[in-house]
Every structure is written in C-alpha cells, then in structure tokens.
Structure 1
Amino acid sequence: MGVELLIIGNITWQVLLGAASVFPFKLGLVAGGLWLYRSDIGTERWPRIGGWTVAGGAGFLVVNLMTMPLTPDLPTIWFVAWARWSISIGSAVGFAIGTIEARSIERAVAAEQAAVSARYLEYQREWLDYLNAVLRHEVLNNANVIGGYTALLLEEREESDPDYAHLRTIERQSREMTHVIRDVRTLLETLDDGPTVESTALAPVLRGELDALDDQFDEVRIDAEIPNDVTVEADDLLPRLFSNLLTNAVEHNDSSSPLVRVTVERTDETVRVRIEDDGPGIPDDELEDLFERDDDRRHDHGIGLYIVRRLTDRYRGRVEVTETGPDGTVITVELPRAREGPDLDRSNRSSSPDPNRNADSSRDPEAERTAGSRSTAVTRSASPTPPSTDTD
C-alpha cells in the first residue's frame, strides 16, 4: 500500500510539475492575444500569425513524438503531459515568430508607402514651383502691362469720355487679377514643409502696407498707432497677411470715404494687431467660415482671408473677428512676440514695398518712419502707371 501511494504521489508531482512548466507559455499566449487585439498590427496579418502559432505547436509536438519511443517505460499520463508541454511551448514560440514577421512586413509596407509619398510630394513641389513661375513671369506680367497702359489711357481722357467708364472697369479688373495672382503665389509659398520664422520688426511692415493702401484707394482715411519697437516671429510673407486684411476692409466698405484704424497692443508673450473699419459689418452666415477656403464661392471675399488664416497658423498665431455690426468690424491678429531684438536686414526686406503695387515713392520718410502714430486722409487723383514686366 505504501509503495502504491508513493508511485501515485510521484506521478502526481510530475503532472503538477509539467503543468507548472507550461503555465508561463499558456499565459504568454493569452497575453499575446490581448496585445495583438490592441496593437496597430492590421487585422489582415492575424491569420498569418495564427498559422505560425498552429505550425509552431504542431511542429514541436511532432519533434517530441519522435523522441518519446526512446523512453518506453514512462507512464501514459507522463506522455500526455509531455505532449501538452510540447504544444504549449511550440505555440508560444510560433506566435512570437508570427508577430515579429508581421511587424517586419508592416514596417516594410510603411517604408515603401513613405518612399512613394516622398516621391509624390517632390513631384507636386516641382509642379507647384512651375506654376508659381508661370504665374509670375507670364500671367502677372501681362496683368501689369494691361493695368499700366490702361492707366495711361485714363490720363488722356476726361471722365465725360464714353470710353472712360470702360477703361476704369479694365483697370479695376486688372488690379483684381493681380491681387488674385499674388494671393495664389502666397498660398503656394505657404505649402512648404516648415517656415523659417525669425524676429521681424512689425512697424515697417504695417506702415508699408498702409502706404500701399493709400496708393491703391482714393479717399481712404487711415488712423494708425504703431509703436516702433515691436517685433514678432514671422517671415517674408508677413506683409501679405496685413495687405489682405487692409484691402478687404476697404473693398467691402460702401462709404465714400472709408476709414481704416490700426492699433498695436503688446503682452508678455504676444502682439495683437487690431484692424478696424467703419463698413456695414459682416453677415452672420459668413462669420463661422470667414477664414476658411470658399470652394463653392458662396461669399465674395475670395481666397484673401483664407490666406490670412494660413499665414497666422504658419506663425503659430491666430486671427478672429472680435467685433462686427452696422458701425464697422474689428479683426484682431495675434502673433508670437519675438524674444530677440529685431533683425534689421529682415525688417528692411519685410517692409519693402511690393513692386507690383506701384507705390508712391515721394512720401515724406521723416513723417512716417519716426512718428509713433499717424493719422492721414488721402484725396488724390490717379497717377499714370507705366507698363512694367518686372515682378520679382
């Protein structure tokens, strides 16, 4: 009796020892299945991982079945435990191999997709550069020639001339075409991978755009309070941001003498530029998507305000309509304040007038460069604009 108990105890111990030895592998299979379910490995890889798991368990079992006849004196229950141990270990190893292979396939596919995307982006960039060159050298040059000759013809005619109104229409459409072309070029430039922003003096940029506004529109009144020592984080496209806002403030104002007021406020981290007009305000149905791309052309603000939003995003800033109503609209642009001193070279480049604007070079530099604020009312007739093909 004692011998039988000893044999039973020995067999039981061996069975328990075998179960304990396969427990980590079974636990690993369960944990691996949960991990696979939550991982980013595509479900299309799961059948292959399952195939590796089954093949691993079956293959290791076959190997062990071939060695079992070498030990014929073992009890049957021991062989059962041996087989279970073989299946557990083989399945766990197969699952690990399948997972590693799936990961490798996913990485290879991702690398191939990245290479294809890079080639496609390079192809797109080449076409965008070509389109930019065509717009600059072909379309914009022709628009400038049309506008220049139209201005000369207007100088030779009186307002009572039957052709005067038609020439005014040609001049206006030529100017609008030029604006659209510049907007498209700016939009193309915002598509680069990462802008190189640096400390940029804000005052020369704003004053340069206000000068251009004076040149472009008759009877416009400008009131500006611009500190001289304000710098922001921006690049060469900053003037276009304010040009679009200022032009929009006048073009959508039905007053015979529109007012544009510009003020600058500073905080520790940002600079806020408020652009106020005395126009009729913005309709409620346009406020929500005012700075979004107007693909279906439901509104008449074109792509100018969309470019404003793209540029403020480019500089990690923001733009919003802070007030609007029958008495006018206030749009606020908030830009990161530069920590370093202004880059004089950058300031000079940013404040240089756009050659396509035909800015008046006879303005008093002392009154505009040294004054902390300015208030002007401009009333003048259009001056002849010679044809030009230099747009760079």
Structure 2
Amino acid sequence: MVSHQPAPRKRGGAWGVTLLGISLVGAALAYAVSVDTETGGLLYPLVDFLVLVSLASTVTYSGYYLGKSDVEPKQLWTVATSVGLGIIVMATLMGWQLLAQLRMGGVVQAPLVLLVVTQSVGAVIGLLVGIYHIETIRKERKLQEARTAAREAREENDQLEFLNHLLRHHMFNGVQVVRSYATILGDHVDESGQSHIETIQYRSDRLVAIVDNMRVLVQSLTDDHHLDPQSLATAIENEIEVLGQTYDQATFEVHGLDDQYVSADSLLPAVFENLLRNAIEHNTATDPHVTVRVETTDETVAVHIIDNGDGPPDGIEEKFLQSAELRDPTAKEGTGLYIANRLVTKYGGDIHLEDDAGTDSARFVVELPLATAPS
C-alpha cells in the first residue's frame, strides 16, 4: 500500500524574516566591536547594544513564530517583504539625513549606531505592518466564510420549510381521504369489521402525528433563538381543550395555574401537547385522569403532570433524552417526549421524570424560566 505524506508547507517567508533579524543581530555585534570604550566609557554603548539586540531579537523570534503558525506561505512572504522594505526605507531616510549634515560641514557622531538603530526600528515597523495586514486579510476571510455559512444555512432552512410544508399538505389531504372512506365503510361492515376500520383511522392519525412532529422539529431547528414572554395558562388550557375533544374518556384537573408567563416561543404549546398526550395514550386506567399542578418560585415555574396510570413504559426517559443523531422522528414512542425535551432545553429549562409519592405512577416535571408579563 502506498502511503501519501502531506506535502510540507513552504516557509520561505518566515525564514526570510528570521534571516533579516539575524542580520540585524550581526550589525549590533559589529557596532559593539567597533566601539572605543576607553574614550567614551562603557555605559552608553552598552545601552545602545542592548536596545539593538532587543529589536533584532524581536524580528528574529517573530520569524520563527510565524514559521510555526498556520499563516499561509504567501502571507509569510508579505511579512518578509514588509520587514525588508521597512529596513530599506528607514536606512535610506537616515542615510539621506547624514549626507545632508555632512554636506553642510557638520560632524556626525556615531553614524554606525544611528544606521543600525534606524534599520532595526524600520524592521520592527515593517513587521508590525505586515502582521496587521495578514490579520486583516484573515479576519475578512473568516467574516466572508461566516456570511457564506449563514447564507447556506438560510437556504437549507428554506428548503426544509418548503419540503415540510409540501409533505404536510399532501399527507393531510391523503389522510383526510383515507379517513373519509373509512367512515363510509364503517356503515357497511358488521361489528367484526369495525376493529379494522378503527385500525385504519388510528394509523391515519399516527401519520398526521408523525408529520406534525417533523414540523415542530424543523421549526425548532430553523427558527431564530429568540425568546419572548409566553402565557403558560394559554398554552396548557388550549392543549387540554383539544385533547379533551380527541380523548373524550379522559379528564383533566388543573391546580395553581394563574397568569404566569415564561420565557419561550410560539412552540411552547407543543411541549404540553406531547406530555399530556403521552399521559393519556400510555394510561392503563379505564378512565384516564391527568392532574396538572403548577408551582411558582421567584425565578422559575414548575409544571407537574401526573396521571392515574402505571407510569410511563420502561426506558421512556432514556428515549426522550436520546440525542438527535440517534432519534428516529417516525418512531412510535418517545418522539413527542424528545420534542418536548428539546424545546424545554432551548428555553433554558429542564424536564425530568419523578416518582409520585404514595402511588405506582410517575410524573413529568417541566421547569421553565419565569418571565415578566408583557405590558
């Protein structure tokens, strides 16, 4: 088997910066050797030398650092060019000034140190300009990538919305036709065939529920994460009314529900629709009864949903906490709870299962951040 090794990245620009820095260190050493300490003393030449070495070392180490970074080779050459131009420009300006002073009959003291200092300063200025330039390019590139990613995400969201709308439209129309024919057939079959009619109607309702679950999931993924005060009473009472019409054998009891507002969005009713429906569908009692108890603190609202059955099936808590990667939106059980958990998490709340003291049942507890009622 042939092994393909990644091609080494060209770091010529970084080496160029390093070599320029080393040349400045050499110039500083040349200056140190040329100084006559017997006539002028040692202090000032020593200070000059330390300044020169500091500037040159900065350039040298910067070249080494850039060579280890993820800066592109082309940008490294930009920095090296900027350092070289800084040295040339500053040295030219200083040389011009020294020549002008000599032409006027002046005396230039320590011309070597002036040239070396000027070149070192020019190198540092060029280094800073080059780094600033490549950082500007990198930021612009990241900004452009972020804009592209945002645009692609919006396009994908639009496609998901369209496909979901198309699916719901055709699915609901098709299911409505199936239910209508099932109702007609119900008048032409005896009692032994009624169970088959009920199966058709039940499966039709399941198809509608699956599509509706997909709609809520798509909305939770595509909508902006913008939360507003939402009426808890409106969300719970409306869902109880709808479920009471769907499951006429079920009864509901509500305690502590007042005018509480929670931080959520327009999908809040889906949380309680799924939890209340789950409490009814998995209820083994002859007359299902669901109690909703609301408890309010200074910062949160806790909604307890308790039924008179034997509690949720084994493993249901793991199902609704299951990650999105493992979740099948068409699964018969647990999907509604998964949606509820996802939405509550989005709202900054918590949902969990508790044993109901004194009974064999269990309760779902939804905790949501309390919000100020809109004026």
TM-score of the aligned structures, taking structure 2 as reference length = 0.71
Paired residue for 2:259? 229
Aligned residues of 2:351 and 2:365 also touching (Cα < 8 A)? yes
Output one character per residue of 1:351-373: Cα deviation in whole Å (capped at 9) or x when no partner. xxxxxxxxxxxxxxxxxxxxxxx
Deviates more, 1:303-312 or 1:42-51: 42-51
Distance 1:301 1:7 in 2: 91
Distance 1:120 1:319 in 2: 33
Paired residue for 2:191? 159
Distance 1:324 1:295 in 2: 29
Distance 1:7 1:227 in 2: 92
Paired residue for 1:253? 283
Alignment counterpart, residue 198 of structure 1, candidates 212, 218, 229: 229
Count of paired positions:
331
Paired residue for 1:55? 84
Aligned residues of 2:328 and 2:335 also touching (Cα < 8 A)? no
Aligned residues of 1:56 and 1:93 also touching (Cα < 8 A)? no
Q: Which has the higher helix share?
A: 2
SS of 1:264's equivalent in the other structure is strand
Distance 2:301 2:65 in 1: 49
Shift of 1:263: 1.1
Paired residue for 1:128? 160
Paired residue for 1:99? 131
Structure 1 residues 149 and 302, CA, compared in 2 at 3 Å: closer, same or farther? farther
Aligned residues of 2:290 and 2:306 also touching (Cα < 8 A)? yes
Alignment counterpart, residue 336 of structure 2, candidates 304, 313, 327: 304
Alignment counterpart, residue 321 of structure 1, candidates 331, 350, 353: 353
Distance 2:294 2:184 in 1: 38
SS of 2:345's equivalent in the other structure is helix
Output one character per residue of 1:146-169: Cα deviation in whole Å (capped at 9) or x when no partner. 2344245335544323xx222212
Answer 1 or 2: higher relative contact order, Cα 8 Å, separation at least 6: 1
Aligned residues of 1:14 and 1:78 also touching (Cα < 8 A)? no
For 1:213, the aligned partner's letter is L
Structure 1 residues 229 and 82, CA, compared in 2 at 3 Å: closer, same or farther? closer
Aligned residues of 1:292 and 1:309 also touching (Cα < 8 A)? no
Output one character per residue of 1:35-84: Cα deviation in whole Å (capped at 9) or x when no partner. 9899xx8444774476247535763687489769957xxxxx95664564
Structure 1 residues 32 and 256, CA, compared in 2 at 3 Å: closer, same or farther? farther
Unpaired stretches in structure 2, ≥5 consecutive residues:
1-35, 103-108
Distance 1:297 1:138 in 2: 21
For 1:192, the aligned partner's letter is D
Deviates more, 1:111-120 or 1:226-235: 226-235
- Do structure 1's residue 338 and structure 2's residue 371 form an aligned pair? yes
Structure 1 residues 282 and 232, CA, compared in 2 at 3 Å: closer, same or farther? same
Aligned residues of 1:53 and 1:92 also touching (Cα < 8 A)? no
Structure 1 residues 218 and 32, CA, compared in 2 at 3 Å: closer, same or farther? same
TM-score of the aligned structures, taking structure 1 as reference length = 0.68
Aligned residues of 1:48 and 1:98 also touching (Cα < 8 A)? no
Aligned residues of 1:294 and 1:303 also touching (Cα < 8 A)? no
Alignment of 1:29-68 (within 5 A): 29=59, 42-44=70-72, 47-48=76-77, 51-52=80-81, 55-56=84-85, 59=88, 63=92
CA-atom RMSD in angstroms: 4.2
Percent identity over paired residues:
26
Unpaired stretches in structure 1, ≥5 consecutive residues:
1-5, 72-76, 344-392
Paired residue for 2:306? 276
Distance 1:165 1:30 in 2: 86
Paired residue for 2:39? 9
Distance 1:271 1:216 in 2: 28
SS of 1:337's equivalent in the other structure is strand
SS of 1:334's equivalent in the other structure is strand
Paired residue for 2:296? 266
Aligned residues of 1:294 and 1:302 also touching (Cα < 8 A)? no
